Amino acid sequence: PGQQYDKPEPIYRWAYRPEFQFSNYQLTMKELRAENYAADGTQEGSTDILNVETPVLSSDNLLSLLYDLETTDLLPLDYLNAGPEKELIFTLGEQEVKATLGADQTLRFDDLSHLNSLDPEDYLTLRLYANNDMGNVLWAWAFEPIRLIADMNRDGHIIKVATNEHPVVDTQNNTQRPFYFWINDDDDEGEINEGKGSAGDVPNDDNPDHNNGKVDGMRDLVDFFPVYIDVKPALDTFPVTEYTYRLVHQDSALKFTETDLYPTHDSPGLRVDAPLKQRGVAAGLAANPVTTITPGGAALSHYFLRGIQNDRGGVILVEASQETHSPLWLKVVKNADQRVVASTKLSLSISGVEDMYRYLDLKPLATQRGAAPNPELGLAENINDPGNNPDEQTQANYLVFVHGYNVSAKAARGWNAEMFKRFHRLGFNGRFIGVNWHGDTGLDYHHAVYNALQTSMHLNAGLSRAMPEPGPLIIAGHSLGNMVVSNAISQGGLAPSKYFMINAAVPIEAYDSAQTTGPNGATMATNMTEADWADYPEALYAANWHQLFPNNDQRQQLTWRDRFNTVVSVAYNFYSPGEEVVENATEGETVSGNLLARLGDFMSGKGTGRHAWVTQEIGKGCKNFIAGWFVFDNCTSGWDFNSSLNDLEYMGTQDPNFPNVYRRYSPEAARSAIALGTLSEEVISQFGFFREFSHFAGNESQYADLYAPINPGGANIGHNTGDAATASTRAGENETQWDLLASGIPAMSFAAAANPISALDARPIGGLNTNFNMEALRGDAQAWPASRTSSWGKRWLHSDIKNIALPYVHHTFDTMLEIGGGDQ
């Protein structure tokens, strides 16, 4: 007023000049009230935050404003008093918000859901403007939200604001994108599960961890998820002396413990993944009490909240005790009148862990040698979209795990669940498939080897059914599970992008026969030879019989040598020199000596599994009666001698005391007979110096036609009537090869479980090695559970990849994820 203006261009009507519209109005705020509502729609309280210096507004609040529009000495312009045509528009965070204008001058905002998409570091602006001039703001108010934030992508950092180092934020949480997790219903204990083995990892245990009122040891921490209590702005407005900060859960399905961890930090020991990677942090939390979060609420401690106020900590660990899809709430309650003045929630989806991955059951497909002893029912196959970890929330990257020998259907559930949990918690964002196969054959390891080879022919088709869309396939096998995977790649059409061999119970020569002639080759051959055969020429061994035949004769395939050499192009060998079950052989091995040694192990508390792989290789042929009577159902070839009276006429020497009676050659006599040509390659081909090849059903005649001349048309010796073509055909049958390799053809090399594979050293990829000593991956300190070191030292044993608490073994999982790219 009083200022002279030039007459505007005719484009304006004088009454609607923008500067006059805004100069004539002043917004006088009477109240700014945040209202809290329960899920059933009942109001829980409201707070006037008009005069609060740092007002806080959670994403679920309704907002009411009581205001006056006052005029100056000029009358209001008609444009804003045009009945239903008048408009005053509010924006909230750069977005228009639907408002209801009441006759009592109250504006009510009923939907602030888009607050979830706002940048948490920005102040929230509330603006009033005329609809025909959005550039002029009448009034503004700013809010900073409180939040509950989970590590949505499980990268070990809870990120509110994207940075170059952490471009993905964890604030995108809502009912359409909840945080998925599992019920803590296995039975963990201590650092090594205290002898429970796979039984303690089976979901839905009779003694679930969530019943115990505390963290059940370091192994249990994988079953807790971190949540950041982001309330620092509210603590000044709502001090802990006057307000209580309550965690609320409608179903009482959650329990928590407070920590000093930070949402993100430069120090690994202070980050949210420290309980999974830092032994000291994990040990400090390993027996923490947990508090149930009820509908009435569980209060956060003053110590914890003051830590947040002082920029320290702010992270709790949460476990679930039952299936729930109700959110976790944080409610700020005024002590004086118990009014809820602010609240926020974390959307959750909690179910059994087996609802989070696919499960492929190949067990029914390996029954040719008969059902396993004491068969038991396992988990029903489920290769559909996991309900509690849906494909739409994951990348089309597949990680398959195949368990090893002597794992029952029930124990397979424990293996698959624990391996999934460890990969998932450490950042795997793809789709996990657990595989069960018929490897629980009691003491008869050879039966399990046969089943592994037979199962391998079905693995590719099974995985094709379980993969709804194409994507990179990474497969990991443990122990004898590597026999399944290796043969599936070599013979069964499986083509993974990467293959992780973990403590592989497979002879090195199967991947790299050249290693048997390398620097360590002679030692391996000597130590893998049964003691009574040590002085005999190697040409007489069942393991070397295949060398007699030309390339076009399939009897040449009756060997472990290079059987899986095509695997080398995609394989990564994770081995442990401290391996006990598949440890290296020593010179002079015998079955009886090994059994006596195991008795000593049992008496000293070490169990009976040590040296088992070498013992079964040395036991092939059942030269020791214990192996034949109590262990193996098929005694064929191997390290027993040919005792056929008819064959010994050609494979032995006449007994000087008994006419027409023949005895096998002594080592010296055998060498002499070979030199003289009496024990020729043709004789060995047609009779064999080792025990006769025998079918697993005990039918020696099944493989009688393998004994034939070396070349087609070759002359038969004595009573032999075989021909090379028929022998080659028989040897080329899968069932023949599987049976004889499993039970009769001994390995002449150590297992990959405890040793590097030389062929992999020649194939470094991207600067990374392809042989990984898991003991060395632990770092210079080589830290290991104290309860283990008293009996085994710091040796990484056969199943430690699963049994030892994650803070001790996470380096191996991290390495696999780095190689596989599954944590992207």
**Contact (CB, 8 A) for 500 and 581:** no
Q: Are strands 99-101 and 147-150 parallel, antiparallel or unpaired?
A: unpaired
Mean pLDDT check: name the lowest of 127-131, 170-174, 611-615, 806-810.
127-131
Residue 764: per-residue pLDDT: 63
List of residues 6+ apart from 190 with CB closer than 8 A = 217, 218, 219, 785, 787, 805
**Contact (CB, 8 A) for 226 and 181:** no
Q: What is the mean pLDDT of residues 787-797?
A: 92
- Please check the confidence at residue 523 and state whether its pLDDT lies above 70: yes
DSSP code at position 295: T
Q: Map tokens 């609240």 to a residue.
A: 343
Can you tell me whether residue 141 is helix, strand or coil? Answer: strand
Q: What is the mean pLDDT of residues 700-707?
A: 88
**Contact (CB, 8 A) for 367 and 375:** no
Q: What is the pLDDT of residues 719-770, one digit of tens each?
A: 999 999 999 999 999 999 999 999 999 999 999 999 999 999 877 666 667 9
Identity of the residue numbered 12: Y
H/E segment holding residue 70: strand 62-71
Q: What is the C-alpha to C-alpha distance for residues 281 and 218, in angstroms, rounded to an integer? A: 10
Q: What is the C-alpha to C-alpha distance for residues 240 and 332, in angstroms, rounded to an integer? A: 10
Q: What is the mean pLDDT of residues 677-697?
A: 93
Q: Are strands 431-436 and 473-478 parallel, antiparallel or unpaired?
A: unpaired
H/E segment holding residue 522: helix 521-527
Residue 105: per-residue pLDDT: 55
DSSP code at position 382: B
Q: What is the C-alpha to C-alpha distance for residues 655 and 355, in angstroms, rounded to an integer? A: 70
Q: How many CB atoms lie within 10 A of CB 86?
A: 14
> In terms of pLDDT, which residue wins out, 84 or 357?
357
Take residue 706 and report the two structure tokens written for it: 């393998």
Residue 537: per-residue pLDDT: 97
Give me the sign of the Cα torsion angle 365, 368, 372, 377: positive
Q: What is the C-alpha to C-alpha distance for residues 21 and 215, in angstroms, rounded to an integer? A: 65
Q: How many CB atoms lie within 10 A of CB 103?
A: 5
What does the DSSP assignment read for 298-363? Answer: EEPPHHHHHHHHTT---EEEEEESS-B-PPEEEEEEETTT--EEEEEEE-EEEE-GGGSSEEEE-G
> Which band of pLDDT confidence, cut at 50, 70 and 90, is reported for residue 323?
very high
Q: What is the mean pLDDT of residues 34-54?
A: 75
Q: Map tokens 């020497």 to a residue.
A: 653
Take residue 725 and report the two structure tokens written for it: 């073509």
Q: Measured between alpha carbons, how far is residue 342 from residues 143, 226, 238 in Å?
A: 12, 22, 9
- Please check the confidence at residue 16 and state whether its pLDDT lies above 70: no
Identity of the residue numbered 686: Q
- Please check the confidence at residue 796 and state whether its pLDDT lies above 70: yes
Q: How many CB atoms lie within 10 A of CB 733?
A: 11
CA-based nearest residue to 274, from 430, 425, 429, 428: 425
Mean pLDDT check: name the lowest of 150-159, 336-345, 439-448.
439-448
- Please check the confidence at residue 377 and state whether its pLDDT lies above 70: no
Q: What is the C-alpha to C-alpha distance for residues 206 and 217, in angstroms, rounded to an integer? A: 18
> In terms of pLDDT, which residue wins out, 454 or 42?
454
Q: Are strands 498-502 and 473-478 parallel, antiparallel or unpaired?
A: parallel
Q: What is the mean pLDDT of residues 234-239?
A: 94
- Please check the confidence at residue 243 and state whether its pLDDT lies above 70: yes
Residue 70: per-residue pLDDT: 46
Q: What is the C-alpha to C-alpha distance for residues 562 and 559, in angstroms, rounded to an integer? A: 8
Q: What is the C-alpha to C-alpha distance for residues 151 and 425, in angstroms, rounded to an integer? A: 10
Residue 85: per-residue pLDDT: 38
Q: Measured between alpha carbons, how far is residue 548 from residues 57, 212, 671 in Å?
A: 84, 65, 17
Q: What is the C-alpha to C-alpha distance for residues 509 and 515, in angstroms, rounded to an integer? A: 7
Q: What is the pLDDT of residues 294-316, one digit of tens each?
A: 999 999 999 999 999 999 999 99
Burial 268-278 (b: 16+ CB within 10 A, else e): eebbbbbbbbb
Burial 401-440 (b: 16+ CB within 10 A, else e): bbbbbbbbbbbbbbbbbbbbbbbbbbbbbbbbbbbbbbbb
H/E segment holding residue 418: helix 409-425
Residue 167: per-residue pLDDT: 87
DSSP code at position 688: -
Q: What is the C-alpha to C-alpha distance for residues 722 and 704, in angstroms, rounded to an integer? A: 8
> Which band of pLDDT confidence, cut at 50, 70 and 90, is reported for residue 24?
very low
- 346 forms beta bridges with 328
> In terms of pLDDT, which residue wins out, 28 or 819?
819
Q: Map tokens 């088992």 to a residue.
A: 612
Residue 772: per-residue pLDDT: 96
Q: What is the C-alpha to C-alpha distance for residues 104 and 112, in angstroms, rounded to an integer? A: 22
Q: How many CB atoms lie within 10 A of CB 242?
A: 10
Residue 136: per-residue pLDDT: 42
Backbone angles phi, psi at 734, to 5 degrees: -55, -45
Take residue 440 and report the two structure tokens written for it: 């629980």
Residue 701: per-residue pLDDT: 77
Q: What is the mean pLDDT of residues 380-400?
A: 95
Q: What is the pTM of this model?
A: 0.84
Max CA distance (Å), the chain? 144
Helices (H), 426-498: 445-466, 481-490
In the chain, what percentage of residues exceed pLDDT 70? 80
- Please check the confidence at residue 15 and state whether its pLDDT lies above 50: no
Task: Give me the count of residues in the chain.
Answer: 824
Mean pLDDT of the chain: 86
- Please check the confidence at residue 19 and state whether its pLDDT lies above 50: no
For the CA atoms of 49, 50, 54, 56, the dihedral, rounded to the nearest 10 degrees, stands at 40
Give me the sign of the Cα torsion angle 292, 293, 297, 302: positive
Q: Are strands 95-96 and 88-92 parallel, antiparallel or unpaired?
A: antiparallel
Backbone angles phi, psi at 382, to 5 degrees: -145, 105
> Which band of pLDDT confidence, cut at 50, 70 and 90, is reported for residue 370?
low
